[in-house]
Amino acid sequence: MRLHEDDGPRRIDAGGEQSNRHVDRALGQGRRIVGLRDGVQVNDAEQAVVLVLELDPVLNGAEVIADVQLARRLDPGEDARHGLTTYDAGGRRRKVRELKDLVDVARRAAERAARFLRSTTPASSRDWIEKGRHDFVTEADRQAEALIADVLVHAVPESRVVGEELSPAAAREGDVVWIVDPLDGTTNFLHGYPQYAVSIGGLVQGALDVGVVHDITRDRVYWGATGLGAWEGEQRLHVSGLTEPRQALVGTGFPFKSLPLLRRYLDQFAAVMGATSGIRRAGAAALDLVDVAAGRLDCFWELTLAPWDVAAGVVLVREAGGVVTTLDDSPDVLQHGSVVAGNPALHRWLLDLVRAA
């Protein structure tokens, strides 16, 4: 929650998991940053405090630092600049745009595109553009991406957008790079099959740190950021706790753009089907990864996915306690290729199974 969005204090359990809450007692700290009843906003996941400025704040002599998250070792004299946080990570000090601010920007962009797509009638089949085998695009995809890019670049002027439809070849250079799929599940959208989403991932100084997936038809928003967890609203997401493959529900995607891989995939499919309670294929990888993060699917694999298909969902799965790699067991999944995801136990099992099939 940002400073201007405060709608009044609410009591919470200070030891519990809350994405954005308030406390009404003094925090234990020795630098006199805040005092009793100063209106303190706490994000448990980052052990951070934010001063909530009032019309006439009484801060017990503390220095006022506006709109800055005090995370770990922030220097208020140097770093009290809007949207920036300095923190110490593993002995390396680095300055990046505060991750929750980036999440909020991505959420606004995804919401704008989702509203547009919900109000848009899918194009007639004669207006579908086949950019590749079985791979369609319409003006709706392109307009949605333009709306997203406008929000992202306006809010973070120095950032770069790598989008599926308008800028797929853009270089991933800069402090903040957005990886955008404006409409994951275009074929579902065109047929009125209610499984498609906006997906926005964020690279911060080269690290995949931010993810937002907006389920368009259900109007449900999922977000995650490194160290902050994965969330849907006030509900923290966790991967499933199942460890027995025979009980597992597994998600997948067909290699419809790469038919030469179909025989290998069918061997994998047969192996998974014979060892589990079932397989689901819904046609939107971003939402498949959301389902893994939320524990609705125990694991997932697909052989041919693009970076914009998976960037946001990968953040969600990892922050929900899961593991995501390529079929070669590499954590670098932002290439065009395979993805295997799941809770730690079933990820390893699935990875070994499909590699051997």
Helices (H), 205-343: 262-275, 285-293, 307-319
**At 223, which amino acid appears?**
W
Look at residue 123 in the predicted model and tell me its pLDDT: 82
- The CB-side HSE value for 229 (13 A sphere, CA atoms) comes to 19
Look at residue 36 in the predicted model and tell me its pLDDT: 37
| Rounded Cα–Cα distance for residues 167 and 152 (Å) | 14
Domains in the chain with CATH codes: 1-94 (no CATH), 99-236 (3.30.540.10), 245-356 (3.40.190.80)
Secondary structure, 3-state, 192-214: CCCCCEEEEEEEECCEEEEEEEE
Q: Exposure of 246 by Cβ count < 10 A (0-12 exposed, 13-18 middle, 19+ buried)?
A: exposed
Look at residue 3 in the predicted model and tell me its pLDDT: 42
Look at residue 81 in the predicted model and tell me its pLDDT: 35
CA-based nearest residue to 180, from 142, 207, 222:
142
pLDDT in tens, the chain (357 residues): 444 444 444 444 444 555 554 333 344 444 444 443 344 444 444 333 332 333 333 333 333 333 333 333 333 333 333 334 433 343 333 334 599 999 999 999 999 999 999 999 998 888 877 766 666 778 899 999 999 999 999 999 999 999 988 888 787 889 999 999 999 999 999 999 999 999 999 999 999 999 999 999 999 999 999 999 999 999 999 999 999 999 999 999 999 888 899 999 999 999 999 999 999 999 999 999 999 999 999 999 999 999 999 999 999 999 999 999 999 999 999 999 999 999 999 999 999 999 999
